[in-house]
Amino acid sequence: MLLPVLALSVLARAADLPLPPVAAHAWVLLDVTSGQTIGSVKATERLEPASLTKLMTAYIVFEALKEKRLTLDQTVPVSERSWKAGGSRMFIQPRLPVTVDQLLHGVIVQSANDACIALAEAVAGAEDAFAEHMNREAKRLGMVNTHFTNSSGLPDPAHYTTAQDLAILAAALIRDFPEYYQRYYSEKEYRYNNITQQNRNRLLWLDPNVDGVKTGHTDAAGYCLIASARRDKRRVLSVLLGASSDSSRTQESQKLLNYAFLNYDDVPLYEKGKVVSELPVWKGSESKLKAGVPSDLYVTVPRGMKDKLKADLVSQQPLLAPVSAGQRVATIKTTLDGKPLGEYPVVALQTVGVAGIFGRSIDTVRLWLK
């Protein structure tokens, strides 16, 4: 997925489409396929994330699995601290073996705080050290208004995020770990220690297109829900914070997802690896460079406005050798009905080395004359 350089929330305005009234304190509606924000309210206001924090906990555990620092069947010790955790629990016990896979079910399906602490200790040795890792990952992902102090989302004045940052995190989790997302986030219930608990995301029962992702609730945060739905190849994500009840967060999230699918379309522009343009290269072993997009590029537009979408390629000139494959060499700028929509990177699809002294000398003169 390509994220636009400009994170613009202009789609509704460009088509004079009113945003739906949403009964929540803050929200973001994101088209994950294109990376474009369709609409938002109070997207950058710092708020308590409650159990939505557990998305970052799972993200880091998924990283550890990918890097083979953990395995799903690995047994995890249960410390007294995790055993005695407050709030939502899966009821792990020091003398009852529990695996990483079981703990992930606890975190994701049951929203279990005890499972979060056990996994945090398995990854980083202690929850405080794990929280530092969470903050490093948040910074790397571009979550600029987020700070974590624990793995579960228990209230803390220094534990905060925004609807926009949570949209970034949820999209990254779906993009970076699709196999784990599909494995865990659509499960409706999970049984451990002879106790069955249901997933609190009621949209899993109401909308067959919804396959995740996470609920949260505290008195201060209100009722929160990040929901994602996929129809054909298109995925949409809503982040809703501060609803008044469980039923309200469900209804309002459904409203946002339906609004996106009914009023907007994704337009495919370029395929990954296909040549978008051949750019001139100076002082190189080749005079032309094949350039394209690093991943499939889609642009979201209001329904019926596809013909008003325009894409222009702006290259970095003069482009001097050497140029490495994957190096950014140009930008695709998109507009909708003449209004800026987003900018996307174009990269070299090949490596071009430096020319010999004769070739470099000729190009030096040509550049000087130019």
Give the neighbor-by-neighbor strand order of the sheet with 277-280. 277-280, 288-292, 339-348, 328-336, 309-315
Burial class (CB in 10 A: 0-12, 13-18, 19+), 45: middle
Compute how many other C-beta atoms are within 10 angstroms of the C-beta atom of residue 162.
24
Residue 369's pLDDT is 66
Q: Span 340-349, mean pLDDT?
A: 92
Q: Span 279-297, mean pLDDT?
A: 89
Q: Which of 35-39, 164-168, 206-210 has the lowest mean pLDDT?
A: 35-39
Residue 263's pLDDT is 95
CATH superfamily to which 271-369 belongs: D-Ala-D-Ala carboxypeptidase, C-terminal domain (2.60.410.10)
Supply the residues annotated as catalytic: 51, 54, 111
Q: Span 338-344, mean pLDDT?
A: 89
Domains of the chain, by residue range, sit at: 11-266, 271-369
Compute how many other C-beta atoms are within 10 angstroms of the C-beta atom of residue 285.
14
CA 141 to chain CA centroid, Å, is: 8
Burial class (CB in 10 A: 0-12, 13-18, 19+), 250: buried
Q: Among 3.40.190.10, 3.20.20.140, 3.40.50.720, 3.40.710.10, name the CATH number for the domain at 11-266.
A: 3.40.710.10
Res. 5 pLDDT band, cuts 50 70 90: very low
Say whether pLDDT at 362 is over 80.
no
Q: What are phi and psi of 16, to 5 degrees?
A: 55, 35
Q: Span 61-66, mean pLDDT?
A: 98
